[in-house]
Chains A and B, each alone.
Chain A
Amino acid sequence: MRRRGIVLLAIAAVTASTALSGCGGGSEDPAGRTTVTFWQQKFEDYQQAWFKKHVDAYNATQDKVKIDLQVVPADTWAQKLKAAQAAGKAPDIATTSYGNVAPGVAQGQFASLDELLPAEAFTDVKDNVKGFVTVNGKHYAYPMLVEPSTVLYYRTDLVTAAGLDPNSPPKTWADLVQWATKLTKGNVKGMTIASAGPDLGWSSWGLQYNACGRLPVNDDWSKSTATEPCFEKLLDFYKTLYSGGLIPKTPKVGYADGAPYGQGEVAMMAGGSWVIGQLKNDFKAMVPKTAVAAFPSFDGDATKTTATLGGWTLTVDAKSKGKQQAADFVKYLLAGDPALMADFFKTSGFSKYTVRTSVDQALASNPDATSDPFMKVISEKVVPFGRQEPAYPWDISLAFGTAIESAMKGKADVPTSLKTAAAAIDDVIKKQSLAGTAPK
């Protein structure tokens, strides 16, 4: 009996240790290969295919490291990552947005890549993007792409039918409201834009910059500036679109999804540049009838920011046991042969923008890239004026997004909504001790 118990205990111990070693980062498999876990947030289908293709290729070209690619849906990403971190099983490599780089560094979450990648890897990165992945002079992420958060898409056929000139898109917010009013007919709404607090929290960053030249927090993150009068016109703009019935009141999908435009439910759309890829892949018939333009500025000044430059990077976990192996893969995928990333941008339908000079050069010889009308407009009229995403905690963005939603849906008037947001932001600043912690 006693002997049987000991045997059972031994089996349990072996099973547990096998299970644990299989789940941990930077572990070795029976063939002596180091397994590096790579969590990729789920994006458009073609991206999953692209990542898989190159992970398989990397695994096939060498026998020392095996990259274990796992695709994680966006809506379960945060809780899954936290649970993994709590259990000490965070992925060795993860997709991380620019906005999460600085907060992650503040928590000690990422390994510095300067010690793991050759210096040339970063000299190839464009100067305006380097700052997105640099904290206190060190690089903590390798950038993959940038994509402007807000671009105006419009249906040229409907615009012409409404007696408007498709070659002269709206320049001010007032023009846009006028266009939306004329284009709202029957079941087709004039346009679509975010209307839920969480979506507004991030998709309105560019328009916050446009309205006030700043976000609703002062430069050293010590005080909210949400009650500045310039933000009132931003809330009024959203309120006009919503209360005027110019946008769908019960949207079926979130801001990031361009399906309502692709399905012909709206004549115009505020959407990220990534929607171009969605249209080219899923709604091909809509592409010839679509034009893009920079999102209008409140006063018509096209040089003012209307979009933030969002995008994705790869980061290496600070606790990874295979940091060097993880960094080697990051180098292979993002910082190596420019043809690899050029292939990615081609697959994306040129809906995302390069971060490396050498990839630009690789694309310069590609006639598809140089002649793409969407890419030309966004590269010349949106990207140069785009700003970096804020690095402050999400609670601040959510508080401001909720203020816009509150004003849109009549929960409170514009000044009261902004006052509530300011109080919430000041509360976040106080409780999370943010004053003076803004990255420089």
Chain B
Amino acid sequence: MTALDSRVAAPADPAPDGAPPHGRRRPARHGRDNRTAYLMIAPMVVLLAVFVMWPLVYSLYLSTFKISFYTEPEFVGLDFYQYVLESPRFWESIWVGLYYAVLTVPTGIVIALLLASFIKTLSRRAASYMKTTVYLPAVVSTVVASVLFVFMYQDDGVVNAMLGVLNHGPVNWLNDPSYALPAIAVPGIWLSFGVTTLILLAGLLDIPENYYESAQLDGAGFFQRLFRITIPLLKNVLLYLLVTGFTLAIQLFELPLIMTNGGPVDATMTPNLYIFASFRDLTPYATSFSLTASLMLFAVLGAISLVIFRLVNSDKAIDG
């Protein structure tokens, strides 16, 4: 029983004579329902308040100080916001995060859509096998995947060996500023497309088959069916994947930490890694700077999500 249930249930108790039914008892019941509802959401509200809201408010307060663990913190107002905004490395890290997101999110969605469409055509048993296979990378630890790909990208690794068969010299995948981020994007896509595929498959299975049958009878080809039926009806799913994909991709941390440590020349220095690297410096400046940079990243991620919501208008519901 939730607050929503209680609201839905109320009109189903009509008064036979037009008078308010059970006039004296209703407020008491409403009060009880509300109390139950508040009690049920209370744990989450308390947890959110303790672990999200209070730290956020306290962080905002602390960001106005140069924090020292041994001397009195020095009030500096909004100085650190100015320092972060003026920091070329902060903005470069945002661009690196966006570039990584552009490399991985659309590619991942296209691959996942193709795979989901393929799985939809398979028999139940084959589809079940394919779903398990596709989902497998999602349960592989990012650390393990990072180490595997580091070995694969070595001068004498399997990737350069394959290039050697095609008569191409070894490529310096992880130590060349132009190749490093795309090289990291490959395990990034590999790790995430399993989940994306399953979500898209669920969306595809929700589209009634008779839409496609009608379209085929009207002479619609594959691309017409794709762009007129499939994609419009997957709009909400795609929006979800885009928003979560972009925000997660920009916050990438483990892959560049293990594979390149943000290098070469900051080419894979994603925002979170940059903030982490700043925090590891032992000066009071670094502590306050990394705290403020985290708050700024929060604002940047919010702005990016807003832009995506604006670009792709969400529909509340499309009747299947």
Contact = CB atoms under 8 A, between A and B. Distances in A.
Interface of A: 78-79, 81-82, 85-86, 90, 100, 103-104, 107-109, 187, 195-198, 248-252, 318-319, 393-395, 402, 405-406, 409-411, 424, 427, 431-432
A431 B172 contact: no
B70 A318 contact: yes
The residue among A248, A393, A431 with the most chain B CB atoms within 10 A of its own CB is A431
Nearest to B174: A250
Given A393-B283, A402-B266, A431-B83, A107 B70 contact: yes
Interface string B169-198: 000111111000000000000000000000
B175 A81 contact: no
B155 A249 contact: yes
B279 interface: yes
A-B complex: 8 closest residue pairs judged by Cβ atoms: A108-B70, A85-B69, A78-B280, A249-B172, A411-B265, A406-B265, A432-B285, A411-B177
A397 to B, nearest CB: 11
Contacts of B153: 250
Contacts of A85: 69-70
Interface in B123-164: 153-156
Interface string B16-27: 000000000000
A410 B263 CA distance: 13
B264 A78 contact: no
B71 A79 contact: no
A406 B88 CA distance: 16
B70 A79 contact: no
Nearest to B279: A79
Nearest to A432: B285
B175 A195 contact: yes
B70 A109 contact: yes
Contacts of B254: none
A197 B156 CA distance: 23
A431 B81 CA distance: 12
B282 interface: yes
Interface of B: 68-71, 83, 86, 88, 153-156, 172-177, 261, 263-267, 276, 279-287
Nearest to A109: B70
Nearest to B86: A427
B83 A196 contact: no
Given A85-B69, A107-B71, A405-B263, A249 B175 contact: yes
A250 B172 contact: yes
Given A187-B156, A409-B175, A107 B265 contact: no
A196 B155 contact: no
A248 B173 CA distance: 13
Contacts of B280: 78-79, 82
A402 B265 CA distance: 6
A394 B281 contact: yes
A416 B235 CA distance: 47
Contacts of A319: 70
A195 B176 CA distance: 11
A255 to B, nearest CB: 13
Contacts of A197: 263-266
B90 to A, nearest CB: 12
The residue among B155, B264, B267, B285 with the most chain A CB atoms within 10 A of its own CB is B264
Contacts of A198: 261, 263
Contact of B284 (A100, A107, A187, A249): A107
Given A196-B261, A319-B70, A393-B285, 13 more contacts: A78-B279, A79-B280, A196-B264, A250-B153, A250-B175, A318-B70, A393-B283, A394-B281, A406-B265, A411-B264, A431-B83, A431-B285, A432-B283
Contact of A82 (B155, B156, B279): B279
Contacts of A100: 282
A60 B285 CA distance: 42
Contacts of B261: 196, 198
A107 B286 CA distance: 13
A410 B264 CA distance: 11
B71 A78 contact: no
Contacts of A394: 281-283
9 contacts: A82-B287, A103-B282, A249-B176, A250-B174, A252-B154, A409-B177, A410-B177, A411-B177, A424-B88
Contacts of B86: 427
A427 B283 CA distance: 15
B158 to A, nearest CB: 14
B201 to A, nearest CB: 38
A439 B173 CA distance: 42
Nearest to B276: A79
Contacts of A395: 281, 286
A85 B69 CA distance: 6
Contacts of B285: 393, 431-432
A104 B282 contact: yes
The residue among B68, B71, B174, B280 with the most chain A CB atoms within 10 A of its own CB is B280
A433 B228 CA distance: 61
Contacts of A424: 88
Contacts of A79: 276, 279-280
A411 B269 CA distance: 15
